[in-house]
A and B are shown apart, each in its own frame.
Chain A
């Protein structure tokens, strides 16, 4: 069966520090991968999605970046965090061939920038 994990679960970082959130998917190949951000009490904002290794589509211009060094690994990064980067970050995957195309989400990473 397929599983998705992201880490760390909780992160408290000072403004200006770097960020690295990792996400891995097991049990499937060539998944589409996504990073979403959810501000407190708000909906999900699509940040990046990837249809293959090295292929990243950015939805929102910001100081965040994403990389996909391996087929089932998706990394969200920042060189210098801003206060506005605080939020709940969710990684998700969807698979080719799934008739419905629903997303399967990781456990989430809660980032607080102080």
Chain B
């Protein structure tokens, strides 16, 4: 069963504007972690931000913030003040339970920043 859903195959945003990339997840485990990764055209996977299921506050890392709505099982990534270098694929991922179990990824969203 699909655990991570990203419903936006592609998104466009004007430079300097904010954009929200959607992610919903499904789990019955009360302990889990949510992650966002960026994949530029070079192919490397860059870790952006993490949100734990027990975290009380939304995670933030520079221009990245995670809008975590636990009851709705959503973990949307917000990028503020978009830059041309933000154009890339973005993947939402989840790891269930404690320890280092496997991580599952969504299908990804291709973000294009327009000048």
Contact = CB atoms under 8 A, between A and B. Distances in A.
B102 interface: yes
Nearest to B106: A43
B105 interface: yes
B105 A108 contact: no
Contact of A44 (B47, B91, B99): B91
Interface residues of B, number: 21
B108 A104 contact: no
Interface string B91-106: 1010100011011111
A58 to B, nearest CB: 11
| Chain A CB within 10 Å, residue with most, of B43, B47, B50, B106 | B43
A59 B107 contact: no
B102 A49 contact: yes
A92 B102 CA distance: 11
Given A100-B33, A100-B50, A102-B50, A108 B100 contact: no
Chain A contact residues, majority secondary structure: strand
A44 B45 CA distance: 11
B68 interface: no
B47 A104 contact: yes
B31 to A, nearest CB: 11
Contacts of B91: 43-44
B95 A59 contact: no
> 8 tightest CB-CB pairs across the interface, nearest first?
A105-B45, A43-B107, A44-B105, A100-B50, A32-B100, A108-B43, A102-B47, A94-B100
10 contacts: A34-B102, A43-B108, A44-B91, A49-B102, A90-B43, A96-B100, A100-B35, A101-B103, A102-B35, A105-B44
